[in-house]
Amino acid sequence: MLPSLDDAWRQTHLGRLFGHASRRFDERVLELIARNIDVPLALSNLAARAQVGAAHIHITRHLALEGSRLTELAERAGMSKQAMGDLVNQCEAWGLVVREPDPLDARARRVRFTEAGLAWLHAFREAVQLAEQEFRAEVGAEVATVVALGLEAYAGPAAAR
């Protein structure tokens, strides 16, 4: 028979706290985007109704301004090409991105932001900045700085992607 173990650790370990904090941050960013008057109404409504999720944020975070091949985008986001293809299809249907021929390789296609997608990206940047300010206000500037430095060190090279 196994000895009795304290079960609280399963709810309070760092991985779980990271997950909760990440979801809270992403949800706040999407909430702020939904309220941004510069975001096209259809996209704002999608964000407000929680139709845009953390997976869609991968495109916002990883799509190069000049466009990216699907394989590059998937690699940067740490996803399979198929999963990223599904996200791109959805974002294309929403008018965030468009696929076009790659000028460097006639066989390849590039994904790039549309005008609406660039408005979304601008709103994303503003929302991230505001969410970071709110985090600093909630935990204090010193703690926020220590958390940011610790996360950068822990994430290592992946943080630069």
Per-residue pLDDT of the chain (161 residues; tens, 9 = 90+): 666 677 777 778 888 888 899 889 988 988 898 888 887 777 777 777 777 776 777 788 899 999 999 999 999 888 899 999 999 999 999 889 999 998 888 888 999 999 989 988 998 899 999 999 999 999 999 999 999 999 999 988 766 65
CATH number for the domain that contains residue 97: 1.10.10.10
HSE-CB at 101 with a 13 A cutoff on CA atoms is 5
Tell me if 4 is assigned to some domain.
Answer: no
Tell me if 77 is assigned to some domain.
Answer: yes
Contact (Cβ atoms closer than 8 angstroms) between residue 39 and residue 33:
yes
Q: What is the reported pLDDT for 43?
A: 77
Distance of CA 97 to the CA centre of its chain: 15
Q: What is the reported pLDDT for 157?
A: 75
Tally of structural domains, the chain: 1
Domain coverage including residue 64 = 20-160
Tell me if 14 is assigned to some domain.
Answer: no
CA nearest to 74, candidates 89, 85, 90: 85
**C-alpha span between 118 and 34 (Å, rounded):** 15
Q: What is the reported pLDDT for 65?
A: 92
Tell me if 15 is assigned to some domain.
Answer: no
Q: What is the reported pLDDT for 77?
A: 86
* Single pTM value for the model: 0.80
Q: What is the reported pLDDT for 133?
A: 97
H or E segment to which residue 112 belongs: strand 105-113
Q: What is the reported pLDDT for 44?
A: 76
The backbone torsions φ and ψ at residue 51, rounded to the nearest 5 degrees and listed phi first, read -80, -25
Tell me if 44 is assigned to some domain.
Answer: yes
Tell me if 26 is assigned to some domain.
Answer: yes
